[in-house]
């Protein structure tokens, strides 16, 4: 009878298999060896339905803990077919006595199986056999968090969720230990498992994670930062206190890690957290800690937060470039563009002795001020007359960056600098006019024209240079104004006029040639030389009209005028290039 029933466990029809299982249970006694072996043998059948029936039959003929049945089932856990391994695990869940170390060990081994369904079945076995609070299951599943395959680590997290009691100190310690693992994937798995086991706001879990903020390995500290919000709700005072405690650590790397963790557990606008982060901006020995404090404030402070804004503005001139850049980003986050105090603080940096700080100050003004902001323009303008060329350059760059092109306020500032006694300041003003306006800008031209009659020759030279830069080519008003200086007593002024004409006059400009030609008969040799240079600068080579115009001066009674005309003609005539002959080669 037993043999007949056992044969029908593999029947094609489910109803026959079910009847055979029931018959086997009735005719064989509990633990009957023949029935157990017969049912176990069907666990490796190729049909899933047959295997399922075999599991039911085995559970009906073998008691929990039956050694023979367990041995047969365990042998099938190593079968090459996935379906057979799954059926064996299902049978193990039915046959293993509660808390069986043997079954727990086998199930945890199967957490490393290549097949996802097998791993899922192993989790079910652990849930059925180990139950909540099994130390053995927690330890074995925790070890799987270090597995090289992501899927196995994920299965270990699921297993821990069903075998560890929430808040279980041993389970929390075991999973927290993985946060210090050398493998980043194991650290992530440990963090996920902690979240499953501890839940949120578990003081024990918070303490375990926070202690890893002091780990010497940067990767472990980073893992602790990421894990904290998994085990602590935002605003959790215990978590905040645990992090703040590390802000006073002697190692600046630990302080930086704590600052990184603070926004993860403290709510935006938390005055206590903001104050503690702001205090670390004064960490003189560690730029990394100051940068971390800036990042923390950007995440912790509410829009317009006074305490955070004041603390951030004070670091716009920080010795570390990374801190200065981070402060700019944070101020945009906390104050937005156009904050007057931030603009003033940035502008103050334009006068700093360090070129790097000045460069950062200019960049900060450009980022923090709206285009055309009068406060930024006025603040930068105060540095245009500095003795330090680097300061002037920084101020000029800021003016050009902040102002709209052709801004009248900027042109007034630059125009005033054209009269400065320092050559360097005047040069800065000329460069500023070039960058701040387009050629032909009437207001820029008026600034240059207004200084052409200045009593200082140096200022007139600068004004001529500016005119040559801002006037459009062919501007007759500018050309006439420049030509008036070709016979000036001061040689630098005459030379500046020639250079300006070269920039403004069109080739063969009749007005320039006439004005310069008239000076070829001047009694002053320097004026004649200037006229000569002006004609050379404007006349086109081999141009018939220019040659004819200059040739008329060959008839002058003054030998100096004739000699000057000869020199001009020599420069206008292009000498023919000699062609090489075979003999000459």
Q: Would you say residue 209 has pLDDT above 80?
A: yes
Reading the block at residue 135, the tokens are 């130390």
pLDDT in tens, 387-405: 888 888 888 888 888 888 7
Task: Say if pTM beats, i.e. exceeds, 0.95.
Answer: no
Percent share of the chain, pLDDT over 90: 34
For residues 554, 555, 557, 560, the Cα torsion angle rounded to the nearest 10 degrees is -10
Q: May I ask the CATH architecture of the domain 508-573?
A: Alpha Horseshoe (1.25)
Domain ranges of the chain: 1-95, 508-573
Same fold, 1-95 and 508-573: yes
For residues 267, 271, 274, 275, the Cα torsion angle rounded to the nearest 10 degrees is -150
Residue with tokens 């879990």: 205
Cα gap 362→357, rounded to integer Å: 9
Residue 454 has φ and ψ, to the nearest 5°, of -65, 145
- Per-residue pLDDT, 261: 93
| Contact between 128 and 89 (Cβ < 8 Å) | no
Residue 574 pLDDT class (50, 70, 90 cuts): low
Cα gap 474→504, rounded to integer Å: 6
Burial code of 112-131, b = ≥16 C-beta within 10 A, e = fewer?
A: bbeeeebbbbbbbbbbbbbe
Closest C-alpha to 39, from 19, 66, 60, 12: 60
- Per-residue pLDDT, 1: 47
Burial code of 220-244, b = ≥16 C-beta within 10 A, e = fewer?
A: bbbbbbbbbbbbbeeebeebbebbb
pLDDT in tens, 260-289: 999 999 999 999 999 999 999 988 788 999
| Contact between 157 and 123 (Cβ < 8 Å) | no
Contacts of 395 (CB under 8 A, 6+ apart): 350, 362, 380, 381, 382, 383, 384, 386
Helix (H) or strand (E) holding 115: none
Q: Would you say residue 11 has pLDDT above 80?
A: no
Reading the block at residue 227, the tokens are 């894990």
Q: Would you say residue 577 has pLDDT above 80?
A: no
Ranking 71-80, 102-111, 234-243, 409-418 by mean pLDDT, the lowest is 71-80
Residue 320 pLDDT class (50, 70, 90 cuts): very high
Cα gap 192→182, rounded to integer Å: 17
Average pLDDT (327-352) is 92
Q: Would you say residue 235 has pLDDT above 60?
A: yes
Residue 404 has φ and ψ, to the nearest 5°, of -70, 155
- Per-residue pLDDT, 565: 73
Residue with tokens 């086998």: 106
- Per-residue pLDDT, 578: 42
Mean predicted lDDT score pLDDT of the chain: 83
Q: Would you say residue 158 has pLDDT above 90?
A: no
Average pLDDT (342-355) is 90
Q: Would you say residue 6 has pLDDT above 70?
A: no
Ranking 8-17, 42-51, 81-90 by mean pLDDT, the lowest is 8-17
- Decide which of 238 and 172 is more confident: 238
Sequential DSSP letters for 297-348:
HHHHSPTT-HHHHHHHHTTTT-SSHHHHHHHHHHHHHHT-TT-HHHHHHHHH
Query: What is the 8-class DSSP label of residue 279?
Result: H
Q: Would you say residue 79 has pLDDT above 70?
A: yes
- CATH fold for domain 1-95: 1.25.10
Cα gap 237→235, rounded to integer Å: 6
pLDDT in tens, 360-374: 998 898 899 988 888
Percent share of the chain, pLDDT over 70: 85
Ranking 57-66, 129-138, 147-156, 315-324 by mean pLDDT, the lowest is 57-66
Q: What is the 3-state secondary structure (H, E, C) of 210-257?
A: HHHHHCCCHHHHHHHHHHHHHHCCCCCHHHHHHHHHHCCCCCHHHHHH
């Amino acid at each position: 009878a037993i043999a007949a029933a056992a044969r029908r466990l593999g029947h094609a029809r489910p109803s026959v298999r079910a009847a055979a299982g029931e018959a086997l249970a009735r005719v064989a006694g509990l633990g009957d060896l023949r029935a157990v072996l017969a049912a176990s043998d069907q666990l490796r059948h190729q049909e899933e339905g047959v295997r399922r029936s075999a599991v039911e039959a085995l559970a009906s003929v073998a008691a929990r803990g039956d050694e023979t049945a367990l041995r047969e089932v365990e042998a099938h856990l190593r079968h090459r077919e996935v379906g057979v391994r799954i059926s064996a695990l299902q049978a193990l869940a039915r046959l293993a006595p509660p808390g069986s170390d043997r079954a727990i060990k086998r199930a945890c081994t199967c957490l490393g199986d290549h097949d996802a369904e097998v791993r899922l079945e192993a989790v079910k076995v652990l849930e059925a056999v180990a139950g909540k609070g099994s130390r053995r299951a927690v330890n074995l599943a925790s070890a799987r968090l270090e597995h090289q395959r992501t899927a196995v680590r994920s299965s270990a997290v699921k297993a821990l969720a069903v075998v560890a009691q929430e808040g279980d100190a041993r389970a929390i310690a075991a999973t927290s230990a993985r946060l210090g693992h050398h493998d980043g994937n194991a650290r992530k798995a440990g963090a996920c498992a902690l979240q499953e086991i501890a839940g949120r706001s578990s003081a024990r879990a918070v303490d375990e994670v926070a202690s890893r903020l002091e780990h010497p390995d940067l990767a472990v500290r980073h893992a602790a930062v990421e894990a904290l919000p998994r085990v602590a709700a935002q605003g959790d005072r215990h978590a905040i206190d645990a992090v703040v405690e590390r802000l006073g650590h002697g190692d600046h790397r630990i302080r930086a890690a704590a600052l990184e963790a603070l926004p993860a557990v403290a709510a935006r606008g938390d005055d206590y957290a903001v104050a503690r982060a702001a205090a670390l901006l004064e960490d003189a020995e560690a730029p990394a800690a100051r940068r971390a404090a800036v990042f923390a404030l950007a995440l912790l402070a509410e829009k317009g937060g006074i305490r955070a804004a004041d603390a951030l503005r004070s670091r716009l001139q920080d010795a570390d470039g990374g801190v200065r850049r981070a402060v700019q980003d944070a101020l945009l986050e906390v104050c937005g563009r156009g904050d007057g105090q931030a603009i003033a603080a940035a502008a103050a940096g334009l006068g700093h002795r360090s070129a790097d700080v000045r460069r950062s100050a200019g960049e900060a003004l450009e980022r923090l001020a709206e285009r055309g902001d009068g406060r930024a323009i006025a603040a930068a303008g105060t540095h245009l007359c500095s003795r330090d060329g680097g300061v002037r350059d920084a101020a000029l760059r800021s003016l050009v960056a902040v102002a709209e092109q052709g801004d009248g306020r900027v042109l007034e500032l630059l125009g005033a600098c054209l009269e400065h006694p320092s050559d360097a300041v005047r040069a800065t003003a000329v460069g500023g006019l070039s960058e701040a306006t387009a050629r032909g800008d009437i207001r820029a031209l008026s600034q240059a024209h207004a200084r052409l009659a200045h009593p200082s020759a140096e200022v007139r030279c600068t004004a001529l240079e500016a005119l040559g830069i801002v006037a459009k080519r062919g501007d007759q008003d500018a050309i006439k104004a420049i030509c008036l200086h070709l016979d000036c007593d001061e040689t630098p002024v005459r030379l500046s006029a020639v250079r300006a004409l070269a920039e403004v006059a069109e080739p063969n400009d009749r007005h320039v040639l006439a004005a310069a030609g008239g000076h070829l008969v001047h009694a002053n040799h320097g004026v004649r030389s200037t006229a000569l240079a002006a004609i050379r600068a404007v006349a086109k080579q081999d141009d018939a009209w220019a040659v004819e115009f200059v040739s008329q001066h060959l008839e002058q009674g003054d030998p100096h005028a004739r000699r000057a005309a000869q020199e001009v003609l020599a420069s206008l005539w292009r000498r023919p290039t000699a062609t090489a002959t075979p003999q000459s080669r």
